[in-house]
Structure 1
């Protein structure tokens, strides 16, 4: 409600020193061409204007924390039509100092309820907040070589969730990849993503069970096609060269979505 009113308010001015420190820590941001870097800074300021950060268990949200998370969260929507509206289903971002222990409750096919604790670096809730470990966010500054980035992972889930399902296929614009309908666009997307996921899952199984060489991407991507999409997005944004060498069809697909050509 009143989203038009938010558009009348400018984002906060990001001090030059703070912005440069963020770029130095997260080098994949510093590698953006000048026009894209300027756009990133502009959208980061608007993100900081509209989102609310909460420190869990006494963790203090500093300018460094908020700016690091905001700049990386903005990267996937930098060129998307609608920009930050892709993230308008939530306001809160909860940050823990270390990894998060999430309590899980699942019911198996026999209707037996199982409860357990899961240690996670982050989590995105549909129509709800994003939770992140600050330690994992900091680690993302030095793990681009392995394609790891917890912020991009969780915000990729947010993009995927826009149509109500975490299935690896975000809502696609009309005419995406020349498809005549939304259903055709989805089919074209999955025709590229699913074989890549199946191959990746097979590699992780072979590595786990038979000692074969493990894939360089986070093997958590083998859990589901939705997790594979998020893991692939991490690598796409932080190590494009290596991602393109190993996942050329996915690179082309993601380019069509994340960097659409303007007419």
Structure 2
């Protein structure tokens, strides 16, 4: 009886959220048209993504900084990009926090870090996005609009991949695996593929002579920044999976299959992935 009541209440809340945060047809079409990497989705997938986007907006609190005006097109554009990675998973992967803070452009991050000798330093750097464990996602609106697909860059997908990675503790490139979605994928299989790919990428980056660095940075599908930490490699590769899937699959086929299995999506349309539907 209690389970039936809980299900009924959950359904009622969902229906109310979908009504309250319904996305206007014209706004939805304009948003989709501005995100060319959604073209692999069929009409049914787009309909589910539209609902998920509304539910995301219902669950999160959007705010801005530096007098940036928060508009419906801004909110929907960010929400749909955040919802894409969990389209075949669940918004539950974004539970435990509510804030999405949008800056006009890059913003300054100040951190306290400890070096190898135990000396504590105060550092600051410019950022286009930041995800806090248990806290908000912070985004540069200027960067969030860089969605023409000319490269694999997508700050929204990047930061929300970090949020997924943080579900089982500090971001480390080993996101949680859920039996209902990811079986038979297990932690050992993930480590065998992901850690090996990360090590190879780091070796590749380290081998680039300084005189060729600018060209390598320009031509590399995966941003060299991904070599900084396994968590960054996971987030950057998540960008590539959704934004440049065919190029990513061609250059890193085993890694593509791993991430496609994790997100339960096959944007490059390479076929069934170890028993999961394409």
TM-score, normalized by the shorter chain, greater than 0.5? yes
Partner in structure 1 of residue 197 of structure 2: 196
Q: How has the CA–CA distance of structure 1 residues 31 and 174 changed in structure 2, closer, same or farther, with 3 Å as cutoff?
A: closer
Query: Among residues 125, 128, 136, which one is paired with 1:129 in the alignment?
Result: 136
Matched, 1:99 2:106: yes
User: What are structure 2's unaligned runs of at least 5 residues?
Assistant: 1-5, 266-275
Q: 1:15 aligns with which of 24, 38, 57?
A: 24
For each residue in 1:124-181, what CA deviation from the matched residue of structure 2 results, as whole angstroms up to 9, or x when unmatched? Answer: 1111100000000011x12x232110000000001111101211111112384536xx
Tell me the CA shift for residue 210 of structure 1: 5.8
Q: Could you tell me which residue of structure 2 aligns to residue 158 of structure 1?
A: 163
Q: Are positions 1:255 and 2:254 aligned together? A: no
1:163–1:171 contact (8 Å) kept in structure 2: yes
8-17 or 225-234: bigger deviation: 8-17
Q: Distance in 2 between matches of 1:72 and 1:173?
A: 22
The corresponding residue for 2:125 is 118
Residue aligned with 1:190, SS = helix
Work out whether residues 98 and 136 of structure 1, in 8 Å CA contact, stay in contact via their aligned partners in 2. Answer: yes
CA pair 6-209 structure 1, distance change in 2 beyond 3 A: farther
Q: Does 1:178 align with 2:179?
A: no
Equivalences for residues 1-263 of structure 1 within 5 A: 4=10, 6-7=13-14, 9-11=16-18, 12-80=21-89, 83-139=90-146, 141-142=147-148, 144-174=149-179, 176-178=182-184, 185-207=186-208, 209=210, 211=212, 214=216, 215-259=220-264, 261=276
Equivalenced residue count is: 252
Separation (CA, whole Å) in 2 of partners of 1:145 and 1:238: 9
Structure 1: runs of 5 or more not aligned:
180-184
For 2:256 and 2:52, locate their aligned partners in 1 and report how far apart those are by CA, in whole Å.
Answer: 24
Partners in 1 of 2:64 and 2:17 — Cα distance? Answer: 25
Alignment partner of 1:155: what SS? helix
The answer as to whether partners of 1:30 and 1:37 remain within 8 angstroms in 2 is no
- Normalising by structure 1, we get a TM-score of 0.90
Q: 1:73 to 1:208 in 2, by over 3 A?
A: farther
Do 2:221 and 2:248's aligned partners in 1 also have CA atoms closer than 8 Å? no
Cα distance in 2, alignment partners of residues 95 and 247 from structure 1: 33
State whether residues 146 and 217 of structure 1, in contact with CA within 8 Å, keep that contact through their aligned partners in structure 2: no
Q: 1:19 to 1:192 in 2, by over 3 A?
A: same
Q: Normalising to structure 2: TM-score of the pair?
A: 0.85
Paired residues of 1:177 and 1:256 also in contact (CA < 8 A): no
